[in-house]
Chain A
Amino acid sequence: GAGVSQSPSNKVTEKGKDVELRCDPISGHTALYWYRQSLGQGLEFLIYFQGNSAPDKSGLPSDRFSAERTGGSVSTLTIQRTQQEDSAVYLCASSMTSGTQTDTQYFGPGTRLTVL
C-alpha cells in the first residue's frame, strides 16, 4: 500500500519568506507527527496530531512554526519568515494508534528545506 508522502521533496527559499510543507499520511492512520533533522540538532520532534484532539505543539521551536491537519488526514507545516537556521530535512510520520506501545511510526521521504 501507499506509504507516507511529502511534498515538495526539495524547497529552496529566501530568508524572510514563508514556506508550506505538506504531508499525506498512510490511509487509516490516526496519528501524525512532524520531526526535523538537521546536522547540528539531530532528529527533533516538532508537533503531533491524534484524531480530533488538540495537537501537541511542545516541540515547535518558535511561534514562526505552525501546523494544521485538515479532516484528520493531510497536514501542512508552515514556517513564517524563514531563517537560515530553519534549513533542515522535515520528516513526517504516521501511525495507527491502537493505544498500545507497539504502534510504529512510519516515515515519509522528507522535505529538504534550504533557506538562503
Chain B
Amino acid sequence: AQKITQTQPGMFVQEKEAVTLDCTYDTSDPSYGLFWYKQPSSGEMIFLIYQGSYDQQNATEGRYSLNFQKARKSANLVISASQLGDSAMYFCAMREGYNAGNMLTFGGGTRLMVKP
C-alpha cells in the first residue's frame, strides 16, 4: 500500500487565488512528521512546511498552511494568493517513528501551474 498518496498529478490555479494540494498518508505509528517540499523546474527540493503528529494546531509558514486532519490521515497544503513563481512540483513526505533520523517517504507529487 502507498504510504503517501497525492491524487492530483496536475493542477491549474489563477494567479492571486488560493489552491489546495491534497495529501493522504498511511501509518500505524503514533509518532510521525509530515513535510511539504517544492521542486521548481531547476530541480532543487525546497522545504516549505512541517506538521508533527502531536501538534495541536495546523502549521503555517507565510502563504503556506497545512490543513491537518489526523483522523482522516490527510495533510493538505494550502497556498494563498498564488504567484507565478509558485509553478512547480509539490511533494508531500512523511517520516515515521520518533527517531528524527528516519528517512522520508514521498508521494508522487502534484504539478501546480499558476496562470497569469
Interface residues of A (CB under 8 A from B): 31, 33, 35, 42-43, 45, 48, 50, 56, 59, 89, 91, 93, 95, 97-110, 112
Residue from B91, B101, B107, B108 in contact with A48 in the complex, judged by beta carbons closer than 8 Å: B101
Report the separation of the CA atoms of residues A93 and B101 in the bound assembly, to the nearest whole angstrom. 12
Contact A110 B44 (CB under 8 A): yes
Main secondary structure of the interface of A (DSSP, over half): strand
Give A56 to B99 CA distance when docked, in angstroms: 13
Given known A98-B100, A99-B100, A101-B31, contact A45–B105 (CB-CB < 8 A): yes
Q: Which residues of B contact A103 (CB under 8 A)?
A: 100-101
Of B16-24, B45-53, B62-70, the stretch lying at the interface with chain A is B45-53
B44 A109 Cβ-Cβ under 8 A: yes
Q: Are A104 and B50 in touch, CB under 8 angstroms?
A: yes
* Contact indicator A59/B47 (Cβ below 8 Å): no
Contact indicator B101/A45 (Cβ below 8 Å): no
Interface 1/0 per residue, B34-61 and A, CB below 8 Å: 0101000011111100101100000000
Knowing A43-B91, A107-B45 touch, does A102 contact B52 (C-beta < 8 A)?
yes
A50 CB to closest chain B CB (Å) equals 5
Q: CA separation between A35 and B43, bound complex, in Å?
A: 13
Q: Which residues of A contact B103 (CB under 8 A)?
A: 33, 35, 45, 48, 56, 59
Q: Are B104 and A45 in contact (CB under 8 A)?
A: yes
Residue ID in chain B nearest A34 by CB atoms:
B103
* Chain B residue at smallest Cβ distance from A107: B45
Q: How far is the CB of A79 from chain B (nearest CB, A)?
A: 19
Asked if B44 contacts A107 (CB within 8 A), the reply is: yes
Q: How far is the CB of B9 from chain A (nearest CB, A)?
A: 12
Which residues of chain B come closer than 8 Å to A48, judged between CB atoms? 101-103
Check A43–B106 contact: CB distance below 8 A. yes
Q: In the bound complex, how far is the Cα of B42 from the Cα of A107, in angstroms?
A: 13
Give min CB distance, B99 to chain A, whole Å.
Answer: 8
Report the Cα distance A91→B52, complex, angstroms. Answer: 24
Quick check: B43 and A110 within 8 Å, CB to CB? yes
Q: Are B101 and A105 in contact (CB under 8 A)?
A: no
- Closest Cβ of chain A: how far from B43's Cβ, in Å? 5
